[in-house]
Amino acid sequence: MPFLPVSRKDMQERKIEQFDFICVTGDAYVDHPSFGIAIISRLLESFGCSVGMIAQPVSDEDYTRLGKPKYAFMVTGGNIDSMVSNYTVALKKRNDDAYSAGGIGGKRPDRAVITYCRRLKKLFPDTEIAIGGLEASLRRFAHYDYWDDTVMQSILVDSGAELLMYGMGELTVTEIWNHFKAGDKLKNMHDIRGTCYLTEPVNTPIGAVQCDSFEVVRDNKKAYAKSCRKQYDEQDEVYGRTIVQRHGNMMLVQNPPQRSLTQSEFDRAYELPYMRAYHPMYEKDGGVPSIKEVEFSITHNRGCFGFCNFCSIALHQGRRVQTRSEQSVLDEARALAASPGFKGYIHDVGGPTADFRFPSCEKQLKSGLCKGKKCLAPTPCPNMKVDHTEYLGILRKMREIKNVKKVFIRSGIRYDYLIEDKNDEFMKELIANHISGQLKVAPEHASNKVLDYMGKPHIEVYERFEKKFYDITKGMGKEQYLVPYLMSSHPGCTLSDAVDLAVFLKKHNIRPEQVQDFYPTPGTISTAMFYTGLDPYTLEPVYVPRKYEEKKLQRALLQYYKKENRELVEKALIITKRRDLIGSGPNCLIPAEKRQEVHSKSAGAAGKRSAGTADHSGKYGTYPGKKPKKRRG
């Protein structure tokens, strides 16, 4: 099966006069199921629809080359939010983009969904638009926007589209197609789960959960925090209710979440005739880098009941775990092993959390997931089902496939889930067969107070896992290591908490090469804390490290061992009154600086000042480096 048409020439060769649907994406065109638009376009094709692809349009010619679709444009910003793609957490423009040809940044506009829709509305004013993907999904309500440092209205309002699809879209797109076949228009499709639409307030559904209006949450942080909790509390396919939020003279209506896919539906979505490659038109630019990570990887699940507060999965994929059948996963592995470019290595068999094969407990299938609670944090729920048997069985069979030398697991393992498994078989085989010297895990922090704000288990759980991992590794005669993901400056994290994390890292001999500053992405609970300074679930105040100076100090503490961070670490330790961590003792983070003998007391005093032992009268003082970029807006 060839790639979907991208040009007039493709249309002529296939004798297509007008497409039924045209998909517009902020990513380069990669026909692989790890790209959401690839699934949606191939699904529409499977219904007998003709589908065209426009990737990263810029000029009017780009938008118009395929003409006008019979039914609708389907628009997505791509696999990640366009602002996250375009800017670092320090608000600096990125030069690279793994989802663009050649890995070069700047090929997608800021706020891609809004930009694309407005241009399409100008060029095709009478053609309807449905928006979807992560950018649309996470911006469906009034939301704090980190880049403009303001609360923006729903992306449905700003884009001018007729319908917003949130979450995973296979069933939603199927229902939309059934409506079209019945002669309906997008603007009238108000009964489809997993969608949002705008209507006049007089048409507001009865019994809906009401969030404060855009205007109220824009101006009142407590109202914003309350609305955030309501939106998360109704994000369940069993008990989730319709939510409404007024925007000016229109009412935004979010229908309840779409149901989960059955296993056969999930299998079908991943067995569509994908090319599993980027379009040949990108060959001259060196291809599209993002395919390298997924080309020989297999998705076996979606959804995550881990429900970390800084993660978008709960609001997009949902907390209920869905899985493909063993047969479907193994068939894909056999196909990969027989493909020309396969070198013997399956890079991943995973998903949001690799080792989840079941819902967290039986109760949720009938009653939904517990509202306002987490399955794993701060302690595991006693009702949680912990079982790696089925996943392990798939991996064992995959290792036996012809041409397969090694099967890796590179997507996240929930160590807090794994450590609760009383059967050590999976952990032993994971260490023996499925990692290449390093296992990436995500404790994120060492302060239990900070971990509570993150929605993560307490650090003692990681310490239990760490001991068991190294005991098993040593027993096998292997030299393998844990590589922890860590985050600085999350809401609730003070400079003293960052010092405690540095002490933890020293004690456990962890030297992270990369650390992540908290990035307030749209729609998450942690972003609501960052903006409001309140915990949405308690409405209690939360300390938020906002200043550039403090963020730099917190980040430096996580890499206290680097010479270039010494001055910043010393400054942080002085501010937090932890001079005991400066010196030659076993617990010290940095050595005391050796100073040259000087002949005058004044010179000695100046030397002391240059070392940062004085002149700290400011909140966090100043230090070398570029000044923080001024916030826009």
C-alpha span between 46 and 42 (Å, rounded): 6
Residue 473 lies inside a defined structural domain of this protein: yes
Residues counted in the chain: 633
pLDDT at site 593 = 79
Q: Each residue of 34-56: b (16+ CB within 10 Å) or e?
A: bbbbbbbbbbbbeeebbbbbbbb
pLDDT at site 597 = 39
C-alpha span between 323 and 304 (Å, rounded): 11
Helical H runs in 124-202?
A: 134-138, 155-159, 170-181
Give the pairing of strands 243-247 and 209-211.
Answer: parallel
Cβ atoms < 10 Å from Cβ of 621 = 14
For residue 124, give the nearest of 253, 7, 24, 11 by alpha carbon. 24
Helical H runs in 253-388?
A: 263-270, 291-294, 313-316, 326-337, 363-367
For residues 499 and 573, the answer to whether their CB atoms sit within 8 Å is yes
C-alpha span between 193 and 35 (Å, rounded): 22
How many whole angstroms from its chain centre is CA 263?
24
User: What are 486's strand-pairing partners?
Assistant: 444
Going from the first residue of the chain to its last (633 residues), give the mean pLDDT of each consecutive group of 10, the final group possibly shorter.
Answer: 94 97 98 97 98 98 98 97 97 97 97 98 98 98 98 98 97 98 97 98 97 98 98 96 98 97 98 97 97 95 95 93 98 96 96 94 92 94 95 98 97 94 97 94 96 97 97 95 95 98 96 91 98 98 96 97 96 97 95 58 39 31 34 39
For residue 489, give the nearest of 535, 580, 550 by alpha carbon. 550
The last residue of a domain, from among 436, 451, 472: 436
Give the DSSP H or E segment for 246: strand 243-247
Residue 288 lies inside a defined structural domain of this protein: no
Residues 455 and 551 grouped into a single domain: yes
Residues 61 and 143 grouped into a single domain: yes
Residues 41 and 190 grouped into a single domain: yes
Residues 541 and 624 grouped into a single domain: yes
Residues 382 and 476 grouped into a single domain: no
Q: What is the CATH number of the domain that holds 603?
A: 3.30.750.200
Q: What is the CATH number of the domain that holds 334?
A: 3.30.750.210
Residues 417 and 512 grouped into a single domain: no
Residues 494 and 612 grouped into a single domain: yes
Residues 420 and 485 grouped into a single domain: no
Residues 599 and 617 grouped into a single domain: yes
Cβ atoms < 10 Å from Cβ of 380 = 18
CA 114-120-124 angle, to 5 degrees, is: 150
For residues 301 and 307, the answer to whether their CB atoms sit within 8 Å is no
For residues 619 and 549, the answer to whether their CB atoms sit within 8 Å is yes
C-alpha span between 519 and 310 (Å, rounded): 8
What backbone torsions phi and psi does residue 137 show, to the nearest 5 degrees?
-65, -45
C-alpha span between 229 and 429 (Å, rounded): 40
Hey, what are 496's tokens?
A: 């003293």
pLDDT at site 507 = 95
pLDDT at site 607 = 39
Residues 341 and 478 grouped into a single domain: no
The last residue of a domain, from among 417, 436, 455: 436
Residue 387, CA distances (Å) to 393, 420, 423, 601 in order: 11, 9, 8, 69
- How many domains does one find in the chain? 3
DSSP 478: -
Give the DSSP H or E segment for 399: helix 389-399
For residues 308 and 521, the answer to whether their CB atoms sit within 8 Å is no
The last residue of a domain, from among 196, 216, 248: 196
pLDDT at site 1 = 64
The parent domain of residue 578 ranges over 439-633
Residues 421 and 544 grouped into a single domain: no
pLDDT at site 594 = 63
Q: What is the CATH number of the domain that holds 178?
A: 3.40.50.2300
C-alpha span between 154 and 140 (Å, rounded): 5
**Which residue type is seen at 259?**
R
Residues 307 and 176 grouped into a single domain: no
